Amino acid sequence: MFQNNPLLTKLKKNLHAQIPRVEGIVKSNERGFGFLEVDTQKSYFIPPKNMKKVMHGDKIIALLKIEKDREIVEPEKLIEAFLNRFVGKIEKKDNQLFIIPDYPFLKDRIICQPDQNCINIFQDGDWAIAQLIQHKLKGDHIFYAKLNEKITHKDDPFIPWWVTLARHKIDKTEPLAEEHDLILKEHYPRKNLTDLDFITIDNINTKDIDDAIFVNEDSHGNICLTIAIADPTAYIKNDSKLDHIALERSFTNYLPGFNIPMLPRNLSENLCSLRPNKCRPVLACNITILKDGSLSNNINFFLAWIKSKAKLSYDHVADWINKSGSWIPPTKSIQKQILILHRLCLLRIKWRQKNAILFKDSLEYRFHLSENGNVIDILVEKRLISHKIIEECMILANISAANFLSKHLGFGIYSIHSGFDIINAEHVVSFLRNYNLNFNAKEITTLKGFCNLKRVLNILSNNYIDNRVRRFQSFGDLSILPGPHFSLGFLEYATWTSPIRKYSDMINHRLLKSIIHNEKVTKPSEEIKFKINENKRRNRIAERDISDWLYVIFFKKQQYQNKKFDAEITDISRNGIRARLIKNGAYVFIPGIFIHSIRKELHFNKEIGKVFINNIMRYKISDIIQITLLDIRLESRSIIAKIEC
């Protein structure tokens, strides 16, 4: 008699409406259950039966219920699916295609159907781009995806590269060059500097050489530096097809093993590259460095032709300066160039030590790959004196460009860094008091005060304090208008020394040329700045993802499981420690269970970067610990380790 009773239906609706609801992100667990993370402090249990309606990462609204005296949630409404366009691995069974998304917490197969244009090309183990078109929380019976594009086949040794690039929508080939792209478009008069002994110093395999330098000394002991930069804008007209392609890419993408150029290789590695004994058009500037290491105000930008007399390598130059190895400069003139450049470098380092901020030397790691993409070894690379020579020259060039642009235009593409905001400055001051370091919050928000703080920390040389202070700093950014770069210690900074590799430097080239020729120019747009920033972020993530994948493949093949390594703690999370192996740069995760066996006695304090056991601090960020590798997981590209007590 109660069937189809309108009063009963209304009562049910009212009762349903009164059930509390929560909104959050689904976090799945390997054992079938999950949690709805509402914020960093609060999450609710999702039983296995309810997890079948959602995927890890979905943003949902859920009903909050009590079941067996425990708060649980039941997914009700999908706000945003974690999967939309995604990459995954094909599984073929009984003529039915499935795809397993390439995400650590998404292990379930999704039924899929190829796009009509590529229906017959998928085989078991292939990699593909797919689109999720059905979701259970939208009322569909199953999760269902459409296959849009094949990435590569299962036996391709370059899977880590192609899959990662596809995921991040990054081009995997160079732009195509048409015949008119390779013709010099500009016919401005240029100074003929082909007789001067310009040299380039790069990695031994570098082909896209974009800077050459020439130095001499005047009668007063000042050093006159001429920096010549490759000039791709002489070939690429503003607003041309190739210019738009360069903007879309924004950067040459340097990945383990190879690069994907921003410009066609015939330009970046041939016509524009400052190869030895080849006449090349350049944008150049003259700078005078005084005997105390300071920069003269007399800066001149101009167009020129140069002919590099030698392509030198960082290793050879550093060995010769340090009087080691067998290499010697090819001529007396080039030997003189290296000696003056070395003196310039030491002068500038001394000046920056007192007046700006010096970089700390750090280790870098490089994959040594075979031709078919196998990791042969992982090499440790240190910053050599030759790296510092080129670094100091390029810094001088970029300070000069910033000053020149500000004086004549008042805009450009500036690299900025604002140090601390006032709230974070207060946190820094409070933190440093614990170490008897007394600073004023207002003072360290100024460029002068920030530089002074950094110099004090450099002298102190405490990696934990450095790390904590760095966490309060703002992020670097690009700006159309001049602004200070706190982390370098300069009032303004605008890069123009890598136009073959960076679109922002191409923009600054055009602006500098407009000043030289007294031409009208348009101010760069905020949209261009945002695009460059986004592409930079995307490229960095892709490089990191490929590196993580290669580390896991290498460790699997080398059977590094159960091997011991020294590692530096780089981060503390709610559940464990992240550390970097000093020998090869791989990141590992150490879960709480492998730090201390009794979980309730263990406390991770992410805010201060420390781990406590029974309220006693045992580990902190920057500590060097010994770890053993326990599990090398290819599916999630992660390495699990334990601490050796």
Q: Which residues are catalytic?
A: 202, 208, 210-211, 314, 501
DSSP string for 453-511: HHHHHHHHT-HHHHHHHHHTSPPPEEESS---BTTTTBS-----S-TTTBHHHHHHHHH
Query: Angle 314-321/332-355 helices, nearest 10 degrees?
Result: 80
Cβ neighbours, 10 Å, residue 186: 15
Q: How far apart are CA 44 and CA 71, in angstroms?
A: 7
Query: What residues are paired with 225 via a beta bridge?
Result: 215, 287
**Residue burial 600-612, b: 16+ Cβ < 10 Å; e: rest:** eebbbeeeebbbb
CA 196 to chain centre: 37
State the DSSP H helix or E strand holding residue 550, giving kind and residue range, or none if neither: helix 526-557
Query: Residue 14: what residue type?
Result: N
Tokens linked to 627: 């770890």
As a whole number of angstroms, the distance between CA 45 and CA 27 comes to 10
Distance CA 323, CA 313 (A): 15
Q: Cα 456 vs. chain centroid, distance in angstroms?
A: 28
Contact 359, 353 (CB under 8 A): no
In angstroms, rounded to a whole number, what is the distance separating the alpha carbons of residues 149 and 101? Answer: 14
Calpha distance 635→509 (Å, rounded) = 45
Between CA 202 and CA 596 the distance in angstroms is 48
Best CA proximity match to 505, nearest among 210, 298, 244 = 210
Give the C-alpha separation, 192 to 95, whole Å.
69
C-alpha closest to that of 112 among 97, 132, 94: 97
User: What gap in Å lies between CA 513 and CA 519, rounded to an integer?
Assistant: 8
178 touches 267 (CB < 8 A) = no
Q: Which two tokens stand for residue 457?
A: 């920390």
Question: Which amino acid is residue 332, in one-letter code?
Answer: K
Other Cβ atoms closer than 10 A to 144? 16
**C-alpha to C-alpha distance for 390 and 48, rounded to whole angstroms:** 58
Instruction: Give the separation between CA 639 and CA 633, rounded to whole angstroms.
Output: 6
**What CA–CA distance (Å, rounded) separates 293 from 153?**
57
- Pairwise CA distance, residues 644 & 540, whole Å: 32
Contact 263, 492 (CB under 8 A): no
Q: Which two tokens stand for residue 118?
A: 């590529």
Q: Collapse the DSSP code of 314 into the 3-class scheme (helix H, G, I; strand E, B; otherwise coil) and give the result.
A: helix
Report the half-sphere exposure of 66 (CA within 13 A, side-chain side): 1
Centre a 10 Å sphere on the Cβ of residue 463 and count the other Cβ atoms it contains: 15
